[in-house]
Chains A and B, each alone.
Chain A
Amino acid sequence: MTAGLGMLLAAAAVQVTAAPQASAADPGCWRDTCIGKSAAAMNCDDDAEVLDQFDIDTSIEVKLIWSQMCQATWAKVAIDPGYTDDPVYGQLWTTPTLGGIEKVYTTPQLGAGNPSEVTLMGNWKGTSKACWTSKDPSTEGDWDPVPLILEPGTGIMGAYTGACTDWI
């Protein structure tokens, strides 16, 4: 791990695993009303916790985060500021509580000047996954890098275009 990413991730870990603060501001939304809003603006990051996380080597870190107060989820994606192998975009994919067509919130492309980005929020009562993808939404559309998980033994044909947490 590079020093830069290590510091960044350590700071992020502290931030998202901290216990809810007694002095936290009132949440600005709850479940459905959080959809499409900023966690910071709605004070939802005051009690943020990580539901799932994976790292790609030491270069990319993807977290699915939730807020108990807001009952909302969002994605946080960070890169080593020196990482230049692929374009990296962060994503939060969500489906409604009883299922439906998945929707996405995508971050701007990450880079040295913005090595960490968060998405807008979804309703925790639905199902969510956090992803990174190399596909530029302006040219590739809403690209899901892991649209389905095949049963073991079934080969995937094609190059990987990102990775996601489980649907939670």
Chain B
Amino acid sequence: MNRRFRIPVPRVVSPLTAMVTLMAGLTVFPLVASNTAAQADAAPARQRLFPDAGKALGGDYTSSSDFTVQGTGDSAGFHILLGTEREGFAFHEIARLGSTDLMDAGPWTGEVCTTGSGRYAAAVYAPSLWTNTPGAMARGAFAAVIRLSDGKVTPVTSGVQLAYFSPGCGDGDLVDFTRSTVTDTSAGDTTVFRTDAATGRITSTSTVSGQATHVVPTAQGTVAVLDDNLVTLTPDAAHRQTLKATVRAALPGPVFALTPATGGDLDLGTVEKGQSVIHRFHAGTLTRLGAGKVGDVKLFPGQDGDIVVGDVRGVDTAHAPGLSKHVLAKQPESVSRQGHLVITSLASDQMKGITTQLGSPSLQGVGVIRMTGVASRSGAVASSAVGADPRVPLSSATGPAPSAGAAPASPSATAAATKVKAATAQPAAATATAPDDTEPRNCGEGALESQCIAAGVPVYGDVPGFDYPCVVKRLDPKRQAVQASANLVEWAVDQGVHGDLTVQRPKDYNDTGLAAYTPQGLFAPPVLSGGGQIPAQLVLGLLAQESNFKQASWHALYGTSGDPTQADWFGNGDSIHYYPDSGKADCGYGIAQVTTGMSVLKSPQYDTLHAGAIATDYAANIAAGLDILAEKWNQLQDLQMHVNNNSPKYLENWYMALWGYNSGVYTDPNNKEGLGYLNNPANPTYAPDRKAFLLYNYDDASKPAGWPYQEKVLGWSEVPQLTWNGNPSYAKPSFGGLGIMENLPTNYFLFCDQNVNACTPNAADPCPTWDDQCRWDASVSWIDDQQDGNSTREKLAYSLGSSEPPLQHANPTGPCLDGPVADDPYTLIVDDLDAHEDTYGCGDFEGADDGKFSLQLGDNFTYYRDDQTMRGTPYIAQIDLHQIGSGYDGHSFFTHSYPTNDWFHKVTASWEPNPIKVPPFDQPGGQRYDVWIHLPATAAQAIVRYNFIPGRNNDGFVTHNCRINQATHSNGQDTWLEMGSFPFWKGGRITADNLHDAGTGDADVAFDAVAFEPAVVGVQGTCKFGY
């Protein structure tokens, strides 16, 4: 009996995807015309921000030339949106920035500005989670320019700074990108990449000593804020690559904005005495124009001058030519070029914590960008949703991937015991070099290397430096991490902080082969010096910030499994183009990103049980993370560094422990102790007029580089991330008498004292040495008479001792599935789990004799070239290979499609029926099997060539090929696809790889199960075989 057996699997649909409505309008700028096949969907209809545009914008709006460029990110990339007034500000996506070169990048963040000419935009962008590495955003982002007329993206360089003051768009088409070498012990220097946006080329690269911010090209030269001054930067006459800073004016306070005005003047926004103050710099003199409530006054560049918006009634622009103002009761985020529209909110829904079917061809659930704006003329407020345009391709960054771990020196005295990410990589060079996966033309007169080595090669063997040192390896079916749903995480945290996380994990839990354990039997409940417990919401906020609640890879939906999530498995900046660097791998595992004990390069290391549990079990991972957080608390207690009344039950009092959790606690008594300057709230890297993270809305989550780590965690502890269906992932804390919010310090100079850390409060550059003098090592208090009525405590959602709640599944079917013919004992099913067939208890056991599945990576060998470089395709091919808890019996592998002959990314799968089941070569006819392939519900997207290899035979039967479009045949559901009947002899098999079609690295290629059903008569099947 031959029939297709299709298992219906409901597709995950975010209710928030049903949003984009109609009303297409005229456009000034045409969209990108070059669409790929995968992006052949229709463009989403455009929705005017103002449905009644004439009333909101004025009757003449259709003849307006005003426009604005906005940027916001999610896991689809950093979206560049354009809105024109003549369309009623109907925004649409013109470009999407990201990188197909990175594995597991997750959501993206960035900043964008528009050049003075109005013809181009410039953007810096990076994966959001990279911002968790202290100092990484000083030199860890990508840079690109976008031509607004058609959305053409030109990548500029990598390794640039991502901060609220960068990039700097100036007169004409000039843009300044910067890179800072700042660390926790040094201001380093700042390199300025002057870029011509019209060509996308860097026209000069020059460096100034110190941490320069707000670098902007103007008609009068490059201006910046350096030390406590407004300066101009000019090339040194003797050394053109060195910039000389000339002081133009002393600054009265920390700067939150610097914009060119008209006539060579500049306008600055500073924070002084609790107010946001606007100044005009004219003819060498700084003049105060007025002030408003701190954080509610914003200064933006405009088309002909600049624009000040918000609480600006007190700002006098009468004597400031080129500066216009718009009074607005809300906090502005940005403004259109002529000031007709003020954006007050802009973020992707996904950044609220919503996650969905990543990798889906439809980008379901991401790219849903919500926006709120105010028409300056009428005061009309409107909101709309903008759908990412499926026709807009992802523009991938080029050049060396910046190291996510471009971190400052970690506290040496505590490095071994802290969670500090230990990468010491210097940022990638700006000059592009050939990636490691570029096959050289060293064969004869310019032929590819493969043409020469195909005739034989001495195999070098293993390359230890290309191994990754993490204790638990990727792609191990025995080390799959289940993606816990939010209810489980909250339950585990509630139990764990009180020492009740003692759920019994039986032996071989989740087929890991590990001994039985309990999470807090492995990792003892946290013990705080002086007693007390960690508040649950503090930990929940930390997990939200560290991993977005992800124990498993971003590819795994909640309820399914995948490799443990890691920030940088291979120490190569997550790049799929560079060899692993064993010395730089992060080895931070799971939902709490536990690094302690998880690298073979550091002692002590966890044993198999502890390490395996950290990698695969969210509860054990949380238990380990609690201990690390407690360690930070205790280190500060030892240093007599207390917050408020020092009671651990108040979330506010963990401010400094969180600071140390991220960037370390310096405990070496031979050096200055305390907390480093990178996370000091007074650090000029963070806007001095910023408001508390997430205080107003979720938008802040899309720009995490703008706040110190501890402020972000406390923000998430107060404002829960949302689940896939928009519900809070966890309960809010008890706010006591405050009712609404945590009692956090609003004075960002609270940790700045000349007598403690050589720091001058309210200065533009509070601690100009940026070195260990700037470490904070004192107690601090901002809550007088601290008690429940004025501070924030935990609120448990699950009673202590309660049992583990049920895991919620994105995919409620499976993982155990039937074969193509239910209960047929004669059908051989060769699944991709190979020797670990019983991960989900599906009844396929090690030793099963149906056949074997195997993978091969690249061209299998390493070769040491004459020029002393290495060809090591297996080390690169492994990077873009993933396992995921989807498919037949809950597991499949997937990679992406690449061009033919791309040996560096080739992954070959083979399914072989057990040779004992098929006849030898001399038996006429062989054994006919009707062949079925299983396509998983996720990660089946590409066109794949399947090779039917009959095995050696006397019948003269040869290999046949059959191309299958995995996407159309699976349609997002677990599917058995009947390929047709084919004869096999011993050694016969099916193979498939990820080349063979014009792959671009985008489409998923799934390798799952193959079934061999004995057939008496020929079956045509999809491949039209019938043999």
Which A residues are closer than 8 A to B by beta carbons?
Answer: 17, 31, 49-53, 64, 66, 68, 93, 95, 97-104, 124-127, 133, 135, 140-151, 154-162, 166-168
Contact = CB atoms under 8 A, between A and B. Distances in A.
B852 A124 contact: yes
Contacts of B459: 101-102, 104, 141-144, 147
Contacts of B443: 157
A126 B835 CA distance: 10
A68 B856 contact: no
Given A101-B874, A144-B456, A168-B989, A127 B952 contact: no
A146 B444 CA distance: 19
Contacts of B457: 143-144, 147
Contacts of A103: 461
Interface string B863-888: 10000000000100110010000000
Interface stretch (B96-104, B129-137, B447-455, B667-675): B447-455
Interface in B403-456: 443-444, 447, 450-456
Interface stretch (B40-48, B109-117, B653-661, B900-908): B900-908
16 contacts: A51-B952, A66-B915, A95-B856, A97-B835, A97-B855, A99-B860, A126-B854, A127-B854, A135-B458, A144-B458, A147-B459, A150-B451, A156-B455, A157-B451, A167-B860, A168-B910
Contact of B450 (A52, A126, A150): A150
B455 A127 contact: no
B733 to A, nearest CB: 45
A52 B455 contact: no
Interface residues of B, number: 52
Given A53-B952, A101-B874, A31 B986 contact: no
Contacts of B452: 157-158
Contacts of A154: 450-451, 901
Contacts of B920: 17, 49-50
Contacts of A102: 459, 860-861
A100 B876 CA distance: 11
A31 B849 CA distance: 13
A127 B898 CA distance: 23
B503 interface: no
B456 A51 contact: no
Interface of B: 443-444, 447, 450-459, 461-463, 475, 834-835, 852-857, 859-863, 874, 877-878, 881, 900-901, 903, 907-908, 910, 912, 914-916, 920-921, 949, 951-952, 986-987, 989
A83 B951 CA distance: 29
Contacts of A31: 835
Contacts of A135: 456, 458
A167 B989 CA distance: 11
Contact of B910 (A68, A93, A127, A142): A127
A127 B987 contact: no
Contacts of B908: 167
A166 B952 CA distance: 10
Given A50-B986, A51-B986, A98-B475, A143 B857 contact: no
Contacts of B463: 101
Contacts of A50: 920-921, 952, 986-987
A103 B461 CA distance: 7
Given A124-B852, A147-B457, 15 more contacts: A93-B860, A97-B834, A98-B854, A101-B860, A102-B459, A135-B458, A140-B458, A141-B458, A143-B457, A144-B457, A145-B456, A148-B450, A159-B455, A160-B455, A168-B989
A167 B916 CA distance: 18
B408 to A, nearest CB: 36
Contacts of B874: 99-101
Contacts of A141: 458-459
Contact of A52 (B475, B834, B914, B951): B951
A160 B453 CA distance: 10
B788 to A, nearest CB: 55
A72 B853 CA distance: 15
Given A68-B915, A100-B874, A157-B447, A148 B910 contact: no
B877 A99 contact: yes
Contact of B456 (A68, A97, A158, A168): A158
A160 B852 contact: no
Pairs of residues from A and B, 6 with the lowest C-beta to C-beta distance, nearest first:
A158-B455, A99-B857, A161-B456, A141-B458, A51-B987, A148-B859
